[in-house]
Amino acid sequence: MQMLNSVNNLKVAKNFKLSEFACPCCKLVMLHPKLLAKLVELRNILERPVYITSGYRCPRYNQKIGGVVNSYHRIGLAADIKVKDTNLIELLEICENIDFNGIGFYEKKNFLHLDVRPTKRSRWRE
């Protein structure tokens, strides 16, 4: 299993590694270039690390954590993010300007869900 430690250990942008987007259970990964481009834009505006708390999810993992069946995480179009010492509302405003097609605001758990779904814009709050 030694090999698994270095799999996907490559930079896909100056501040992001592919492994950061990998499924925690199997290390498989899908990452749409449009999602990455928008996250890079966010990172550049913030000038601080953007932590990917959930990127790609294989069907099994998605089910295990109770994700919705057709989650955009399952096809590499979504990421959940956290940014240290940054107000979630402020972060939301920046993400609105970058125009992610889907934005979920998770106030209690203190993270944002961001996606580049091909369908019309969607906003929700938990």
Give the residues lining the site for Zn ion (CB under 5 A). 23, 25-26, 58, 61, 80, 113
Those residues with Cβ within 8 angstroms of residue 21's Cβ, 6 or more apart along the chain or in another chain: 8, 29, 31, 52, 55, 56, 76, 79
Residue with Cβ nearer Zn ion (14 or 78) = 78
Q: How far is the CB of 28 from Zn ion (least distance, A)?
A: 6
C-alpha span between 110 and 90 (Å, rounded): 12
| Cβ atoms 30, 23 nearer than 8 A | no
Residue with Cβ nearer Zn ion (47 or 100) = 100
Q: How far is the CB of 73 from Zn ion (least distance, A)?
A: 6
Q: How far is the CB of 94 from Zn ion (least distance, A)?
A: 17
